[in-house]
Amino acid sequence: MSEWWTYTLSDLLMFSAQTYYRLFELYNREIWPAQIVAIGLGIVALLCLRRAGAREGRIVAAILAACWLWVAWAFQIERYATINWAARYFALGFAIEALLLIWIGVIRGQLLFWQSAKGIRVAGFYLFLFALAVQPLIGPAIGRPWLQAEIFGIAPDPTVIATLAILLPVSGRMRWLLLCIPVIWCAISGATLWAMGSPSALLMPLIALLVLLLAAGHALACSAARIR
């Protein structure tokens, strides 16, 4: 793109806010009652976070991988790609994240979120609860119809935040690999909402930043403890 620096975010937005949110409304109508299944899976993942064991790590990874794959296909390719040609690349990113979760979390069993300090586990738990129970309410709270609610496992944003919540207390280098795509999505989603003038535009980037800071702090604390 020549003279790319002259383009603003709104120059790159190719659909209206109305069209974008209608996409969620039609999607929610078409897949009902899949939302109940998704919320059920979210509750199972939340319970696994409290129990914390090797088996629970694999279950959570499998649930998240299934959600990322579903969002890649049902949302990004089947719906979002009809108004945004870039959605096919987003779908690829979501599919890669799903495969990473399967490889690292399910097959190798490296999603070890119970070995961290209690504080960071609690933060992860409440962030997951936020993605599951609060994030779907944000749209209606700012005046959008209930049918446009974005739900964990169905819509990308709460699925990504829930994944960040799970990865927050995970120890080991693999966490950073798994964090890449969710953090990139937070930037993309934030930019899209910003260009549309949404009052919730900063939410995703701020949560990503918070998770990165907490994860970095946690990693530093672990390193310091090992040195001592």
Shortest distance (Å) from residue 148 CB to other proteins: 13
Interacting residue with other proteins among 46, 48, 49, 84 (CB under 8 A): 84
Q: Please report, as residue ranges, which positions from 19 to 48 form the binding site for other proteins (by CB under 8 A).
A: 19, 22-23, 26
Phi, psi of 110 (to 5 degrees): -100, 15
- Cα three-residue angle 20-22-25, rounded to 5 degrees: 125
Nearer to other proteins, 9 or 134 (CB): 9
Write the burial class of residue 73 (CB in 10 Å: 0-12 exposed, 13-18 middle, 19+ buried): middle
Tokens read off for 189? 């989603």
Residue with tokens 């090797």: 54
Instruction: Write b or e for each residue in 47-58: b if 16 or more Cβ atoms lie within 10 A of its Cβ, otherwise e.
Output: ebbeebeeebbb
> Which range binds other proteins by CB under 8 A, 44-52, 78-86, 121-129, 220-228?
78-86
Q: CA-CA distance, 38 to 159, in Å (whole number)?
A: 10
Residue with tokens 């937070």: 186
Interacting residue with other proteins among 32, 37, 47, 82 (CB under 8 A): 82
Q: Please report, as residue ranges, which positions from 180 to 209 form the binding site for other proteins (by CB under 8 A).
A: none
Interacting residue with other proteins among 45, 69, 79, 183 (CB under 8 A): 79
Does 6 bind other proteins (CB under 8 A)? Our answer is: yes
32 Rama class: left (phi>0) / alpha (psi -120 to 50) / beta: beta
Interacting residue with other proteins among 44, 66, 83, 219 (CB under 8 A): 83
Q: 50 with 98: CB under 8 angstroms?
A: no
> Which range binds other proteins by CB under 8 A, 61-69, 81-89, 166-174, 178-186?
81-89
Q: Please report, as residue ranges, which positions from 85 to 144 form the binding site for other proteins (by CB under 8 A).
A: 85
Interface with other proteins (CB under 8 A), residue total 20
| List of residues 6+ apart from 3 with CB closer than 8 A | none
Nearer to other proteins, 6 or 143 (CB): 6
Nearer to other proteins, 8 or 118 (CB): 8
Residues in touch with other proteins (CB under 8 A) = 1-3, 6, 10-11, 13-16, 18-19, 22-23, 26, 79, 82-85
